[in-house]
Homo-oligomer: A and B are copies of this chain.
Amino acid sequence: MTDRDDLVRFLNEDIPAGDVTSDAIIPDISCTAIIRAEQNGVIAGIEEASMLFSYAGVTVTPHKNDGNRVRKGDVVVSLSGRAKNVLLVERTALNILGRMSGIATRTAAMVAIVNAQNTSCRIAGTRKTCPGFRRFDKKAVQLGGGDPHRMNLSDGILIKDNHLALVPLGEALRAARHHYAYKKIEIEVESAADAVKAAAAGADIIMLDNMTPGQVRETLSVLEEKGLRDRVTIEVSGGIEEESLREYAACGVDIISMGALTHTVKNFSLSLEIQPVAPGTE
């Protein structure tokens, strides 16, 4: 339900003191409108856009569901209501749809590449999201078939290099296990030796950071040897691009997390087209 507050804040960001253009020139008439995909991909943000149009008194008819594949030219949503209100929400709704669909489309592409190699390997997001838009970035990753990873610093334990600069690995894992019974414990390591140490000390998830595919394969085989592979989930992370994805997936890791899914987003192209409603025909 907190989404609602966020969405209304996004809208208000665009209208601190009304819509001066509509106030000056648009009469009090009704219109219909259509939001159309201008490219192929996975659509996301329909729920959010619909909420905002409804909030402004516009009737919304979704033609697609969030997570659906759409093709260029497909109608995503149709609208009818007071013309001023459609214009008021237009840009905010398109910004939400454009970013979320961009993320979902890219995630889905990454998932497809990975699953072609390894059907049980997941693509995950990170916390490298646009400030203030986190929950929508994460939802878009999910709609594209990815795992959102932890939502925030309260959500899960992840011991990273900067923690390990302050506390030794073994001590950190002991303290974390002692502190929480209900949370999985993830730790970032940079060598096979540390991966073994972490698995032996009871880590649930081990993130292999900035390793080459070769180093990943080696780490997995050492864990296997020591009988520790089954106890832990293995995630790889750190500068993984579309090109190297296939190779990492083929190593047999469980999860590949990619910051670029949400920190370097290509907007998904959509248009909104308004038609006046002839008086009397409404």
Contacts and interface: CB of A to CB of B under 8 A. Distances in A.
A12 B17 CA distance: 12
A133 B17 CA distance: 12
Interface of A: 1-2, 5-6, 8-27, 29, 31, 33, 55-56, 83, 87-88, 90-92, 94-96, 98-99, 102, 122, 124, 127-136, 138, 147, 149-159, 162-163, 165-167, 171-172, 175-176, 178-184, 186, 204-205, 233, 254-255, 259-260, 263-267, 272-276
A217 to B, nearest CB: 21
B264 A166 contact: no
Copies in the complex: 6
**Residue picked from A94, A99, A178, most chain B C-beta under 10 Å:** A99
B15 A153 contact: yes
Contacts of A2: 12, 15-16
Which 4 residue pairs are nearest across A and B when measured between Cβ atoms? A132-B132, A24-B179, A10-B131, A16-B16
Contact of A95 (B6, B18, B171, B263): B263
Contacts of A179: 20, 23-25
B99 A263 contact: yes
Nearest to A10: B131
B132 A181 contact: no
**Residue picked from A14, A87, A172, A255, most chain B C-beta under 10 Å:** A14
A152 B267 contact: no
Contact of A150 (B124, B182, B264, B267): B182
A136 B56 CA distance: 20
Contacts of A259: 267
A175 B24 contact: yes
B131 A133 contact: yes
Contact of A147 (B152, B157, B180): B180
